[in-house]
Structure 1
Amino acid sequence: MSSVAKYLGADLLLALYIQPKASRDQVMGLHGAEIKLAITAPPVDGKANAHVRKLLAKLFQVSQSQVSLHKGELSRHKQVLIKAPFVIPAEFSEFVQKKESES
């Protein structure tokens, strides 16, 4: 399993590098040991964090309450936990391997 994305039971933990105030929302690829995510929201008053949660919830087809900020509230370097993701979007498929069955 890649260090940028790992399963914790049924949940998925993503290591992200956030680029705020981008022209559009998109997954940019790897940035060191993190997935670079460009977002349109500014890094002001928690708007970027809320936008990241909303975007990931939409991409992984889960509710926003299933997406939580694990680490990095005031940093561009974030760890986001997605509880029981329904699908792995194409943009993340190269970083997230299918969950191996555990005993």
Structure 2
Amino acid sequence: MSAVSYINDEQQGDLLLFVYVQPKASRDQIIGLHGDELKIAITAPPIDGKANAYLSKYLAKACKVPKSQVHILKGEQGRHKQIKICHPKIIPAEIAALL
């Protein structure tokens, strides 16, 4: 399993990320590999879905897509998540390095 996969379709591709989330961090950043996953630190607390909403917003901003194009496929209740980003306009350098 790779931390990042690029899924091609006819027009643009989608990103599939396997993520380990560190909530309540001192700052938001894509840290790098954590085992077989991409580690992302976010400042939001893991309470009432705030961390998931914040993570979606953070990734949407980083990839220049609307929040509606970021989907948490697995891991709503845990730190290990599978996330799909539909048709990203840009791929952040930290993620592109893992493709």
The verdict on a shared fold, with TM-score over 0.5 as the criterion, is yes
Over aligned residues, Cα RMSD in angstroms? 1.1
- Give the aligned length: 95
Q: 1:55-70 alignment to 2 at 5 Å? A: 55-70=58-73
Q: Deviations over 1:50-69 (max 9, x none)?
A: 01100000000000000010
- The gaps in structure 2 that reach 5 residues or longer are none
Name the residue aligned to 1:35: 38
Q: Deviations over 1:65-86 (max 9, x none)?
A: 0001011000100010000111
- The gaps in structure 1 that reach 5 residues or longer are 97-103
Name the residue aligned to 1:17: 20
Name the residue aligned to 2:48: 45
Q: Whole-Å Cα distance in 1 between the matches of residues 98 and 53 of structure 2?
A: 23
Q: Is the 8 A contact 2:4 2:95 kept in 1?
A: no
> Once the two structures are aligned, what percentage of the paired residues are identical?
57
